Amino acid sequence: MRQHISEDAERRGDAPGGARPYTVDLVARAPAVLGDDVLACVQHGGAAADDDPRRIRVALPVLAGDGVELWRSVLPVRHGRDGDIGWAENGAALFGQLQLPESQLADMDRAVFHAYARIDGFLQRSGYPAWLRVWNFIAGITDGDGDGERYRQFSVGRHKALSLKPGFEHELPAATAIGSEDGGLLIYFIAAARPGRQIENPRQVSAFKYPRQYGPKSPSFSRANLLDWRDGAELFVSGTASIVGHETLHVGEPLAQLDELLRNVQALLEQAGRPLRPEMLKLYLRDPRQLDAVRAHLRTHFGARPVTILRGDVCRRELDLEIEALFRAA
């Protein structure tokens, strides 16, 4: 299959620049069989129906909204596996996933280094060297103390792998890193032939420049990634929390955290400088008892626009929630 991808190299190089090569639909239930046009079916909560490599199962309970994302292609889709990486591509974008069981995470930093290095190698030889967006679901994300905390060790491994590329801090993908309920680590990602434009937030210290107090190596991600497709822009907004500068604000006040993180999202939209509207909003909430208050508060901000709310742990213990978003041209 890998060779098959390489033979089609002439079809690539049109991203970004070509038309947006997918659309995303939110649905309540995953189809029993994935159609030919599906690039990825991201299923939160429920079990995987089959072992189709396009099925990405995220072990976070759905608290509100539709928990299944169907990423549909406008171009023919091919899919397959390369070692432990499941992939699907359509000539303009590639989706992939890699899962590590808990038994392989005893040495988290090493395991993550090898996982990211494997993915990067696969992307390079497949003709999609540019990471656009990546999601990381890490069981027990805040387990362990000090620099031994799992999230910090995860960040060390990711940094070791991504920093092998010169200038890597100018082409970092947008990202999410959330604690999951299953054991193990799930990484899934979208890549293209060429990178988008990295967006940082003037209200926040860039994560890749966080000071030492947050761990031995800084988290390697951008605040957002802007893609100018021919038919309009798309903005992948990373997991965004109540952090200003590099500090956590409003500890113990989830609704104040929500207001703060929405100001961060607004700042990213201003940086993007394009008229954009939300296409998909996902909120990760630590304590389900806060669901009703959070939903009501979200309605005052987004009105009737659907927000999928998932039960998940944010990577700083004092943070109650985090939002991520996908925007597209208004």
Of residues 285 through 324, those in contact with ligand 3EB by CB under 6 A are 315
CB under 6 A: which stretch of 6-14, 142-150, 173-181, 187-195 binds ligand 3EB? 173-181
Helices and strands counted in the chain (H then E): 5, 19
Among 71, 87, 221, 327, binds ligand 3EB (CB under 6 A): 221
> Closest distance between ligand 3EB and the C-beta of residue 177, in Å?
3
Tokens of 243: 């952090």
Contacts of residue 208, Cβ cutoff 8 Å, sequence gap at least 6: 169, 172, 218, 219, 220, 221, 222
Q: Does residue 175 belong to the site contacting ligand 3EB (CB under 6 A)? A: yes
- Burial pattern 277-286, b for ≥16 Cβ within 10 A else e, equals ebbbbbbbbb
DSSP-derived 3-state class of residue 228: strand
Whether omega for the bond prior to residue 254 falls within 30 degrees of 0, making it cis, is: no
Q: Does residue 243 belong to the site contacting ligand 3EB (CB under 6 A)? A: yes
Q: Does residue 239 belong to the site contacting ligand 3EB (CB under 6 A)? A: yes
Tokens of 236: 């992948």
- Burial pattern 174-184, b for ≥16 Cβ within 10 A else e, equals bbbbbbbeeeb
43 or 201: CB nearest ligand 3EB:
201
Q: Does residue 161 belong to the site contacting ligand 3EB (CB under 6 A)? A: no
Q: How long a stretch of residues is the chain?
A: 330
CA distance linking residue 191 with residue 189, whole number of Å:
7
Q: Are residues 71 and 22 in contact, defined by beta-carbon separation less than 8 angstroms?
A: yes
Q: Give the type of residue at 21.
A: P
Among 92, 207, 298, 309, binds ligand 3EB (CB under 6 A): 207
Q: Does residue 53 belong to the site contacting ligand 3EB (CB under 6 A)? A: no
Q: By rule CB under 6 A, what count of residues binds ligand 3EB?
A: 12
Q: Does residue 189 belong to the site contacting ligand 3EB (CB under 6 A)? A: no
Catalytic residue among 200, 234, 322, 324: 322
Q: Are residues 81 and 62 in contact, defined by beta-carbon separation less than 8 angstroms?
A: no
> Closest distance between ligand 3EB and the C-beta of residue 12, in Å?
26
Tokens of 111: 């395991």
Tokens of 184: 């193990």
Q: Does residue 241 belong to the site contacting ligand 3EB (CB under 6 A)? A: yes
To the query of whether residue 253 is one of the catalytic residues in this protein, the response is no
Minimal CB distance to ligand 3EB: which residue? 239
74 or 117: CB nearest ligand 3EB:
117
Q: Does residue 21 belong to the site contacting ligand 3EB (CB under 6 A)? A: no
CB under 6 A: which stretch of 53-61, 84-92, 170-178, 252-260 binds ligand 3EB? 170-178
Q: Does residue 219 belong to the site contacting ligand 3EB (CB under 6 A)? A: yes
Contacts of residue 137, Cβ cutoff 8 Å, sequence gap at least 6: 58, 59, 60, 178, 179, 180, 185, 186, 187, 312
Catalytic amino acids? 322
- Give residues in contact with ligand 3EB (CB under 6 A): 136, 175-177, 207, 219, 221, 238-239, 241, 243, 315
